[in-house]
Amino acid sequence: MASLSKISITRPVLAAVMSVLILLLGIVGYFFLGTREYPVVDSPVVTITTVYPGASADVIASQVTKPLEEAIAEANGIRTIKSVSREQVSVISVEFNLNTDLEAAASDVRDKVSKSRMQLPTDIEPPVVEKSGPSEALVFLIVQSKTKSLEDITDFVNTNIKERLQSIPGVRLVNVYVGRKRSMRLRMDPVKMSAYGLTPSDIQQALQRENVELPSGRIEGQNAEVSLRTKGRLVTEDDFNNMIISQKNGAMIRFKDIGTAVMSSKNERTSMITFRGPTANLRGNECESATGC
């Protein structure tokens, strides 16, 4: 078998062409091949967020975070588990090994969380499992108006902006912060409730009984069929104020007899203030507080 040096001597044109090709490949690789002095070595991370309305940090830690951690620890490829227990919220971050597939890891974590659901309080909101790969970019978009309320802005963002942002290729998750969703607040008078012999559980049972929309069946004819619908949902303030709580001695007790229903925000503890001035900057013009900033 002929050696490379012998072929180059006997066929100088072929040797010259090969040299030129190697030179061209080197030039192309120099300009087009990506190189990094500090390559990305971030591990895949899966975050589990659980909301328990009205619970303190100690209750969150003992009844939510601890059972979830024990269940998640059985997943494969876990590197570290970090958790934060705050008032009403539990956040658990699970970091996996570098060679772990993020999709498989997230699916495994969801299975473990589902199996531990029976050990958690029954009135918590379903845990949310989110995955985050390396080098994910965060983009903040501020929406404000001089004429609209924060509730109207939140409705507009959820209806128009959020859906369009989620449809952009490459966007993994869109969250709305400091928003206020509309909600009906039932403000009860303890003195009037005591006079009628009622408790907050009676109000809750009345809501579950009156504020429902059940299937009503259908009417079948010889040539047509009509589905029936019973509108049983309470929508306006008058609907809630006229809600029947109970009947005693032949008299109906309505909610307006013991309190008032007011259309307000679901969460009144957050607000947003935009600062404008010489000291404002791109990251310092947002504020979230329960009492203002």
Half-sphere exposure of 20 (CA within 13 A, CB side): 6
Kindly state the tokens that stand for 238: 């008058």
Measured distance CA(152)–CA(229) in Å, rounded: 30
| pLDDT over 80 at 270, yes or no | no
Q: What is the DSSP letter of 78?
A: E
Rg of the chain in Å (alpha carbons): 31
CA 275 to chain centre: 27
| pLDDT over 80 at 33, yes or no | no
Question: Residue 152 belongs to what H/E stretch?
Answer: helix 150-156
Mean pLDDT for the stretch of residues 102-126 = 88
Q: Taking the domains of the chain in order of start, what are their residue ranges? A: 45-132, 137-181+272-293, 183-265
pTM of the model: 0.54
- Kindly give, in sequence order, each residue whose CB lies less than 8 Å from that of residue 73, ignoring residues fewer than 6 positions away: 81
Measured distance CA(263)–CA(170) in Å, rounded: 38
CATH dotted code for 183-265: 3.30.2090.10
Kindly state the tokens that stand for 202: 């009676």
| pLDDT over 50 at 279, yes or no | no
Domain 45-132 part of CATH 3.30.70.1430: yes
Kindly state the tokens that stand for 21: 């090709």
pLDDT, tens digit, 9 for 90 and up, residues 152-192: 888 888 888 888 888 888 777 787 777 778 888 889 999 98
